[in-house]
Amino acid sequence: MGRAFLYVILGGGVAAGYAALEFTRRGIGHGELCIISEEPVAPYERPALSKGFLLPEDPARLPSFHTCVGAHEERLTPKWYKEHGIELVLGTRVMSADVRRQTLLTSSGETISYKTLIIATGARALKLEEFGVMGSDAPNVCYLRNLADASRLVNVMQSAAGGKAVVIGGGYIGMECAASLVTNKISVTMVFPEEHIMARLFTPTIAAFYEDYYSSKGVEFIKGTVLSSLETNSLGQVVAVNLKDGRRLPADMVVVGIGIRPNTMLFEGQLTIDEKNGGIKVDAKMQTSNRSVYAVGDVASFPLPLLGSRNRRLEHVDCARKSAIHVVSSIMDPKDTGNFDYLPFFYSRVFTLSWQFYGDNAGEVVHFGDLSSFQGPFGAYWVNGKGQIVGAFLEGGSKDEYEAIARICRVQPVVGDRLDLASRGLEFAVSG
């Protein structure tokens, strides 16, 4: 059996939701677009899973965070897809793809063919087993990538109330989950191999601010080491985490956030893969090495103007949203669609703190503001070899201040005296 569509989006996450909205805005006929997703629910704002979803009081639950509420747009419920004649094939995994025949084979045995395919398969969480540590399928070990993981995490947190959690990984998941666990009255020890949290983005100075804040909330840090094993009881539950440095940490639950891998598998050997950055290689129109196939979001490696159009893969929601909108424009209006001119934007919210980052965190760093108290605003500029500002970070800014640092990263002014830049701080961006 089989069905044929003009457009198929493979994957039903953030990018799929924003692409669907853009398709309807540009005008598609009923029955022309199909979205196939392994998840059993319509596209939703994944960032909510490590924030609002984990709140002890009045937590966010679907349908409240279906896309595209994260960008203050319409909320696309299953009814919306039906009314717009978009076929949502949910709870269905695509098992294989044939880009030459333009077909996808699903887990229900159906062959779905397309004229144009958008790959929006996102990424999967890396497992501890991939680093040689066994037992992460224990009932009180949690990963966090999708709604099912988040629901499970909530249940495990409830069973561990008043107890101890070990958080493995000092990246985004580690930081946001540690904050949520503390808010749920679970004491937290974070373990990670680097010298400070968020090593991919934060400077040691920025990291020290957040680490001090987390310490004030009772979070303990164990840095520069990794797990050696998980110790379990007769029920198969983890009771302790053993570290390579010999320490043993008793635990009622474990949360693991040790990075992701883009879901490229279906297309390996069929499309060009960016071996360096991971991901499916696309051009500035988000088109892959096959003319009928495009890729967006976490799975796509695209040319980034900021890097002189070298390819980069970004794992952030703003990129998923904007690349999705861009791809629909590329497909439906190729003549009038330019290159994807994207400025990287990352953000996070933990406890009552909130930060934003724009651009590239490469070059010399100039910190500004008051880092010694928990007041903010404070931040940093990154200055490249030509003396231009190419990146900016700000904690505790206002809407206008965040817009100002985004603008400065687009304009990339040349700065002279670094001490002057540090003392002018945020005012440099706001007045610029």
Residue 14 interacting partner from ligand FAD, ligand ISD, ligand NAD, none (CB closer than 5 to 8 Å by kind) = ligand FAD
Residue 70 interacting partner from ligand NAD, ligand ISD, ligand FAD, none (CB closer than 5 to 8 Å by kind) = ligand ISD
Three-state SS for 320?
helix
Stretch that binds ligand ISD, among 40-48, 228-236, 241-249, 300-308 (CB under 6 A): 40-48
Asked if 39 is part of the footprint of ligand FAD (rule: CB under 6 A), the reply reads yes
Asked if 52 is part of the footprint of ligand ISD (rule: CB under 6 A), the reply reads yes
Write out the two tokens for 187. Answer: 């004491």
Write out the two tokens for 326. Answer: 């861009």
Pairwise CA distance, residues 398 & 214, whole Å: 23
Residues 6+ apart with CB under 8 A from 138: 230, 232, 236, 237, 238, 254
Q: Is 224 left (phi over 0), alpha (psi -120 to 50) or beta?
A: left
Across 342-431, where does the E strand assignment appear? 345-350, 353-359, 364-369, 378-383, 389-395
| Near ligand ISD in 225-244, by CB under 6 A | none
Write out the two tokens for 282. Answer: 């696309």
Asked if 164 is part of the footprint of ligand ISD (rule: CB under 6 A), the reply reads no
Based on the number of CB atoms within 10 Å of its own CB, is 242 exposed (0-12), middle (13-18) or buried (19 or more)?
Answer: middle
Residues 6+ apart with CB under 8 A from 124: 145, 260, 261, 263
Among 8, 33, 88, 122, binds ligand FAD (CB under 6 A): 122
Q: Report, in Å, the least distance between residue 16 CB and ligand NAD.
A: 17
Bridge partners of residue 18, in order along the sequence: none
> Based on CB atoms, which residue is closest to ligand NAD, 192 or 210?
192
Nearest in space to 393 (alpha carbons), one of 351, 352, 350, 362: 362
Site string for ligand ISD, 311-340 (x = CB under 6 A): ------x-----------------------
Cα 364–339–290 angle (5° rounding)?
Answer: 115
> Based on CB atoms, which residue is closest to ligand ISD, 52 or 305?
52
Among 8, 47, 369, 389, binds ligand FAD (CB under 6 A): 47
> Based on CB atoms, which residue is closest to ligand FAD, 108 or 215?
108
Among 121, 180, 264, 356, binds ligand FAD (CB under 6 A): 121
Among 20, 28, 34, 49, binds ligand FAD (CB under 6 A): 49
Cα-based distances in Å from 189 to 82, 207, 389, 431? 46, 16, 36, 42
Asked if 298 is part of the footprint of ligand FAD (rule: CB under 6 A), the reply reads yes
Residues in contact with ligand NAD by CB under 6 A are 50, 131, 168-174, 176, 192-194, 199-200, 226, 257-260, 315-316, 346, 348
Residue 171 interacting partner from ligand NAD, ligand FAD, ligand ISD, none (CB closer than 5 to 8 Å by kind) = ligand NAD
Pairwise CA distance, residues 203 & 390, whole Å: 15
Contact 361, 344 (CB under 8 A): no
Query: For binding to ligand FAD (CB under 6 A), which residues are involved?
Result: 11-16, 36-39, 46-47, 49-50, 93-94, 120-123, 144-145, 263, 266, 297-299, 315-318, 320, 346-348
Query: For binding to ligand ISD (CB under 6 A), which residues are involved?
Result: 45, 47-48, 51-52, 60, 65, 69-70, 317
